[in-house]
């Protein structure tokens, strides 16, 4: 039982370190064609001319298709439908037919023998679009005069907020805009579709995250039986929510393979990626809290506008719904109302990005609390302590649903984690470093530089159901093979599931092989997203491996003619408990697997052969990990540059299967969060032309911008909702970075109000400095 909780090196590492990983564009098959998408150069308009005649004549071109060549007017449906919303009028067609709605929208596809020749031919497609004025500012929906297209409206809440605000001793309001940014994995998307010998048969390389769902949708769109399509498990160069959703290309490339009868590969380039793949995060908050005289929260309201871009994609309105549902966070909030309007604009459509909806909502709530602390004259930590739900109040059900589940904060001791985080930040010298004034003797902080400390607390969600299925098989060599419905997107799922299976089987984790995300090997998978792989996928593996353990002991009892109760399975072998000569009656898992082979005399009539089990783990509620972030920043008031000097994440994960990997998830999340808080932004000009289409304009943070991240990993509150006691780790590193950095910058600049907008680019910081100077 030692495989869980150890810092095992990752099973994925050797192949990746040797350059033997198999990423999308590493897979090639004989006779393959290459595809190049032709995309709209205009943000909004009617297609007057879309002429592919010259492109079709270009050398090496096999086909050029537009919407007119499609068999049907296909649109991509919503995967995560929220009850009460009808988005059918706002779904994206796989190719634009009459109207284009964002720069980058697919118009045509060129396929040919060589990717260079396809790019040449794509240049020959003649496009003329009658431009119409683009809608670019969703915040116009706050004003009555400007009503852009609202795709959906929803509210989440409970209690009488009007009464709460009327009775309040203090009411604090801020506005906060969250910038448009996204996951931007380092590997662009890639898809290879290979027709098989039978009609309708297709092998797909490059789908991930939800391969079974994508397979089924593709089968429906192509009008074939889903088992003719096999999505293969390959490596993926980062997921972060954006990779693996069903995009227009996920229909177009397989359809072209069927149409041409040849394998078709599409390797996205970075500029395409930055215009085509789900953007995320862009929200406008008008958030307010009512307090009594003692600083206790009486009510909380938030008016949220989500700039969703041009269409509703597979997530529908799940992102802002999560914002509204999770906004009260870890606090005791007697009355709450979150109103969401989902506004369509002429920009790239939005979807989920790691901690979707929560990065935004945590920033709004936690920044509001810091502003409130200032106005009420209470220390920000004390204000939070006063309002946190206590251990005695757990589990805490809010009369709110999210993603179709009841919101029940399942377990935890929020005040204890906050206290531990404050102690840790103190022990590591955060406050001392933040409180340094410019020009202090012996301190290297220059004039014009100010430091600040910021803290934020949050509740995450993880382990979304409804199910995950796992098969565990012991082979005749004694190896254990796990077939999981989760997928590998770089998170280390193979290592974690191997540890879980090894623990249940009493086997060496090194003897466990994991196949994750192959739809033929595991046809009932629900995928890797929503911090569910370890929680839901891991629980399914635990159950299946436990069942195999039981079956191994059952068979061993027959072979040894012993009673099952007298047998023990440890170190990959069954032996009779207390036998003075354990070697005499010791059966390895390999021995037992062979005894379970077809025609074995140890099998009884009607029993299936093989030492294996399939189990389905079903769960109706999510589990809610929680954390505290703390940051020390230095602001250059002359240039507006913000540097993050120190960063701490304190996180309750229930139980860490592999603490090294959990810490890696948290550290990586912090880096991405710093990107969204300070650097990364998809900006558009007044014509709707995207201004961040290379890594020069879209500024991913480098090692120079990311400090070492201190991690305080706690395993004090095992989740009651699954047999492993685990909670998700994928999103706790990013959730509160916008909040903590905004609070630290506000502290550094001594602002009375909030920072107003993220990311805190140098220009915005300079504006805050100058506004603060004017006010002083």
Partner 1 sequence: MHEIRLTVNGRAHELAVEARRTLADVLRHDLGYTGTHLGCEHGICGACTVLMDGAPVRACLVFGVQADGTEVRTVEGLADGEQLSDLQQAFSDHHALQCGFCTPGFLMLAEAYLAENGDAPLGEAEARELVAANLCRCTGYQGIVEAILATARARQKP
Locate 604 and state its tokens. 């009884």
Nearest residue to 259 (alpha-carbon basis) of 59, 35, 105, 91: 35
Choose between 115 and 610: whose C-beta lies nearer to partner 1: 115
Q: What is the four-CA torsion angle of 387, 760, 697, 353, rounded to 10 degrees?
A: 10
Shortest distance (Å) from residue 761 CB to partner 1 = 19
Q: Are 472 and 501 within 8 A, CB to CB?
A: yes
Shortest distance (Å) from residue 572 CB to partner 1 = 24
Backbone angles phi, psi at 188, to 5 degrees: -65, 170
Please list, residue by residue across 723-749, b when 16 or more beta carbons sit within 10 angstroms of its beta carbon and e when fewer do: ebbbbbbbbbbbbbbbbbbbbbbbbbb
Helix axes 737-749, 358-376, angle to 10 degrees: 30
Shortest distance (Å) from residue 113 CB to partner 1 = 13
Choose between 28 and 570: whose C-beta lies nearer to partner 1: 28
Locate 127 and state its tokens. 């496009």
Shortest distance (Å) from residue 45 CB to partner 1 = 28
Instruction: Tally helices (H) and strands (E) across the chain.
Output: 18, 28
Shortest distance (Å) from residue 116 CB to partner 1 = 7
Cα gap 515→525, rounded to integer Å? 12
Shortest distance (Å) from residue 464 CB to partner 1 = 22
Cα gap 136→328, rounded to integer Å? 30
Choose between 709 and 724: whose C-beta lies nearer to partner 1: 709
Choose between 26 and 69: whose C-beta lies nearer to partner 1: 26
Shortest distance (Å) from residue 148 CB to partner 1 = 32
Shortest distance (Å) from residue 362 CB to partner 1 = 19
Cα gap 199→193, rounded to integer Å? 14
Shortest distance (Å) from residue 13 CB to partner 1 = 4
Shortest distance (Å) from residue 706 CB to partner 1 = 5
DSSP string, 41-63: SSSSEEEEEEE-HHHHHSTTEEE
Categorise residue 506: left if φ over 0, alpha if ψ from -120 to 50, beta otherwise. left
Nearest residue to 380 (alpha-carbon basis) of 392, 393, 370, 366: 370
Choose between 519 and 672: whose C-beta lies nearer to partner 1: 672
Shortest distance (Å) from residue 683 CB to partner 1 = 18
Shortest distance (Å) from residue 746 CB to partner 1 = 24
Rounded to whole angstroms, what are the CA distances from 538 to 11, 496, 499, 501, 727? Answer: 16, 8, 9, 8, 11
DSSP string, 167-192: T-SEEEEEEEEE--B----SSPPEEE
Shortest distance (Å) from residue 189 CB to partner 1 = 12
Helix axes 358-376, 318-326, angle to 10 degrees: 30
Choose between 274 and 373: whose C-beta lies nearer to partner 1: 274
Choose between 174 and 674: whose C-beta lies nearer to partner 1: 674
Query: Contact residues for partner 1 (CB under 8 A)?
Result: 9-10, 12-14, 16-21, 23, 25-26, 28, 116, 183-188, 235-240, 269-270, 489-492, 660-661, 663-664, 667-672, 694-696, 700, 702-704, 706, 708-709
Choose between 108 and 666: whose C-beta lies nearer to partner 1: 666
Choose between 734 and 755: whose C-beta lies nearer to partner 1: 734
Give the number of other Cβ atoms within 10 Å of residue 109's Cβ.
Answer: 27
Choose between 471 and 710: whose C-beta lies nearer to partner 1: 710
Cα gap 741→712, rounded to integer Å? 18
Cα gap 671→677, rounded to integer Å? 10
Shortest distance (Å) from residue 663 CB to partner 1 = 8
Choose between 447 and 694: whose C-beta lies nearer to partner 1: 694
Shortest distance (Å) from residue 773 CB to partner 1 = 33
Cα gap 229→248, rounded to integer Å? 18
- Cis status, amide bond into 704, omega within 30 of 0: no
Choose between 473 and 665: whose C-beta lies nearer to partner 1: 665
Cα gap 398→104, rounded to integer Å? 41
Strands (E), 113-261: 126-131, 150-158, 170-178, 190-195, 202-205, 229-232
Cα gap 621→721, rounded to integer Å? 8
Cα gap 339→342, rounded to integer Å? 10
Q: Are 227 and 156 within 8 A, CB to CB?
A: no
């Amino acid at each position: 039982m030692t495989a869980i909780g150890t810092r095992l090196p990752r099973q994925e590492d050797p192949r990746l370190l040797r350059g033997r990983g198999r990423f999308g564009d590493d897979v090639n098959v004989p006779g393959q064609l290459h595809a190049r998408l032709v995309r709209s150069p205009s943000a909004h308009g009617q297609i007057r001319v879309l002429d592919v005649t010259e492109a079709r004549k270009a050398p090496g071109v096999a086909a050029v298709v537009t919407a007119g060549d499609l068999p049907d007017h296909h649109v991509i449906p919503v995967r995560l439908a929220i009850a009460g919303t009808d988005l059918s009028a706002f779904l994206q067609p796989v190719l634009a037919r009459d109207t284009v709605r964002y720069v980058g929208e697919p118009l045509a596809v060129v396929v040919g023998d060589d990717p260079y020749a396809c790019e040449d031919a794509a240049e020959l497609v003649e496009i003329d679009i009658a431009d119409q004025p683009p809608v670019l500012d969703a915040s116009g929906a706050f004003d009555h005069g400007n009503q852009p297209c609202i795709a959906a409206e929803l509210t989440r809440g409970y209690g009488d907020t009007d009464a709460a605000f009327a009775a309040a001793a203090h009411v604090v309001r801020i506005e906060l805009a969250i910038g448009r940014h996204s996951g931007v994995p380092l590997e662009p998307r890639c898809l290879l579709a290979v027709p098989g010998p039978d009609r309708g048969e297709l092998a797909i390389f490059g789908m991930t995250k939800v391969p079974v769902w994508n397979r089924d949708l593709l089968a429906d769109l192509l009008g074939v039986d889903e088992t003719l399509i096999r999505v293969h498990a390959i490596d993926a160069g980062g997921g972060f929510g954006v990779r693996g959703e069903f995009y227009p290309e996920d229909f177009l490339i397989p359809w072209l393979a069927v149409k041409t009868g040849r394998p078709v590969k599409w390797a996205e380039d970075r500029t395409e990626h930055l215009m085509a793949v789900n953007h995320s995060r862009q929200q406008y908050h008008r958030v307010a809290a009512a307090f009594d005289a003692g600083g206790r929260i009486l009510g909380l309201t938030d008016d949220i506008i989500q700039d969703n871009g041009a269409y509703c994609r597979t997530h529908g309105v799940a992102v802002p719904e999560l914002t509204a549902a999770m906004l009260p966070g870890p606090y005791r909030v007697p009355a709450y109302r979150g109103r969401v309007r989902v506004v369509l604009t002429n920009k790239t459509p939005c979807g989920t990005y790691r901690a979707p909806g929560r990065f935004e909502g945590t920033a709004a709530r936690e920044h509001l609390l810091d502003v409130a602390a200032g106005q009420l004259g209470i220390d920000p930590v004390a204000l939070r302590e006063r309002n946190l739900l206590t251990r005695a109040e757990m589990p805490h059900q809010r009369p709110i649903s999210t993603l179709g589940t009841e919101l029940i904060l399942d377990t935890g001791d929020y005040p204890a984690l906050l206290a531990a985080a404050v102690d840790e930040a103190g022990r590591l010298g955060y406050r001392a470093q933040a409180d340094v004034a410019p020009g202090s003797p012996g301190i290297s902080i220059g004039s014009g530089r100010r430091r600040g400390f910021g803290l934020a607390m949050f509740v995450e969600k993880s382990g979304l159901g409804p199910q995950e299925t796992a098969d565990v098989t012991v082979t005749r060599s004694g190896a254990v093979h796990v077939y999981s419905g989760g997928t590998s997107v770089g998170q280390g799922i193979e290592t974690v599931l191997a540890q879980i299976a090894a623990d249940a089987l009493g086997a060496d984790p090194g003897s466990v092989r994991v196949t994750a995300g192959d739809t033929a090997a595991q046809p009932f998978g629900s995928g890797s997203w929503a911090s569910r792989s370890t929680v839901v996928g891991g629980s399914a593996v635990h159950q299946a491996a436990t069942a195999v353990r039981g079956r191994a002991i059952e068979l061993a009892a027959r072979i040894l003619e012993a009673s099952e109760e007298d047998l023990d399975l440890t170190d990959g072998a069954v032996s009779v408990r207390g036998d003075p000569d354990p070697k005499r009656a010791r059966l390895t898992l390999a021995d037992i697997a062979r005894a379970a082979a077809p025609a074995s005399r140890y099998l009884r009539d009607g029993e299936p052969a093989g030492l294996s089990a399939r189990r389905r783990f079903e769960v109706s509620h999510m589990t809610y990990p929680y954390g505290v972030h703390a940051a020390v920043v230095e602001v250059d008031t002359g240039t507006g540059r913000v540097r993050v000097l120190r960063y701490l994440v304190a996180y309750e994960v229930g139980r860490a299967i592999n603490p090294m990997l959990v810490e890696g998830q948290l550290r990586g999340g912090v880096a991405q969060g710093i990107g969204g808080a300070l650097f990364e932004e998809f900006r558009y000009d007044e014509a709707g032309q995207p201004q961040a289409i290379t890594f020069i304009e879209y500024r991913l943070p480098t090692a120079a911008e990311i400090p070492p991240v201190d991690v305080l990993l706690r395993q004090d509150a095992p989740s009651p909702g699954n047999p492993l006691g685990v909670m998700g780790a994928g999103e706790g590193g990013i959730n509160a970075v916008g909040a903590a950095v905004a609070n630290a910058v506000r502290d550094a600049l001594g602002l009375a109000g909030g920072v107003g907008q993220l990311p805190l680019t140098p220009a915005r910081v300079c504006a805050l400095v100058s506004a603060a100077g004017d006010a002083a």
